[in-house]
Amino acid sequence: MARCIMRLSIHALLDYRIDAEADVLLQIEAAADEPTQKVIDGKMRVATGSELHPVPVEAGVGRRTWTRGRGPFRVEYRATVEVERAVREIAGLGITPYADLPGEAVPYIWPSRYCQSDRFASFVGKAFGDVEGGAKVLAMANWVHDQLDYVPGSSDGDTGAADTFISREGICRDYAHLLISFARAAGIPARMVSAYAWDLDPQDFHAVAEVWLDDGWHMIDATRMAPIEGLVPIITGRDATDIAFMTIFGRADLNAQSVTVERLD
């Protein structure tokens, strides 16, 4: 078990132009209810003064914020976050039998829009059937890392794990979707986490899988692009549908967008 304390400075900027007035959902704040991190001075604001209406997530970690925008739409989020996460060796953890799963883990054993885990039962049995416990998840993550190519632009909003399994290409969301699908097919609850990531190159919003092992959630990143110790979870969900950093319910054009995560100590 590795313990690591990091103090990170986070800055995210979303600069768009919205044609006609539109509702906007923002999911970009470092999660305040995540026990492994402490958010200091977190502040999100829309430059043009739109009011912000935060609502809780129905389940999991994080919160969502509604606002409205028209014309220039520029959101900034700044925070200092102290991450103190005891990253445990996945391989040493145990799989919880179905009948011992708590209510909060149950929905994550099932397929979702982008994670058609029901279709992978036979493959997962053959490919990972001999590995037990957390080592099974590790073997799955290694498979995903080795078999996929990281190709920006190779997937879109319709791409699910079944597509990625065939095309063997994707970005972080696709790596996470495939790993989540494999885990669920093996009876291991798995959800998706959006996060700020220290030491991610190029810097951007990141997304990884989180699996339920030994009565707790554990993040695992099949892209291996950023260390787990430097992840700052934003929000969790069943798959990418729940955790997009911004959804504009109307037409918008991108001017600029940037994410910066810097270590302070």
User: In the complex, which residues of this chain contact a copy of itself (CB under 8 A)?
Assistant: 23-25, 53, 55-60, 63-64, 66-68, 97-104, 106-107, 110-113, 116, 118-120, 122-123, 126, 147, 149, 157-158, 162-163, 165-169, 187, 237-238, 241-242, 249
156: left (phi over 0), alpha (psi -120 to 50) or beta: beta
Tell the smallest beta-carbon distance from residue 156 to a copy of itself (Å).
10
| Interhelix angle 172-185/134-147, nearest 10 degrees | 140
Tell the smallest beta-carbon distance from residue 174 to a copy of itself (Å).
12
Tell the smallest beta-carbon distance from residue 188 to a copy of itself (Å).
12
Cβ–Cβ under 8 Å, residues 47 and 74: yes
Nearer to a copy of itself, 66 or 143 (CB): 66
Nearer to a copy of itself, 111 or 134 (CB): 111
**What whole-number distance in Å separates Cα of residue 192 and Cα of residue 240?**
7
Nearer to a copy of itself, 69 or 230 (CB): 69
Nearer to a copy of itself, 194 or 203 (CB): 194
DSSP state of 30: P
Nearer to a copy of itself, 169 or 214 (CB): 169
Tell the smallest beta-carbon distance from residue 9 to a copy of itself (Å).
29
Calculate the alpha carbon distances from 41 to 38, 58, 66, 89 in Å.
Answer: 10, 25, 20, 32
Tell the smallest beta-carbon distance from residue 70 to a copy of itself (Å).
12
Tell the smallest beta-carbon distance from residue 131 to a copy of itself (Å).
17
Nearer to a copy of itself, 8 or 209 (CB): 209
**What whole-number distance in Å separates Cα of residue 59 and Cα of residue 38?**
20
**What whole-number distance in Å separates Cα of residue 80 and Cα of residue 262?**
10
**What whole-number distance in Å separates Cα of residue 212 and Cα of residue 93?**
10
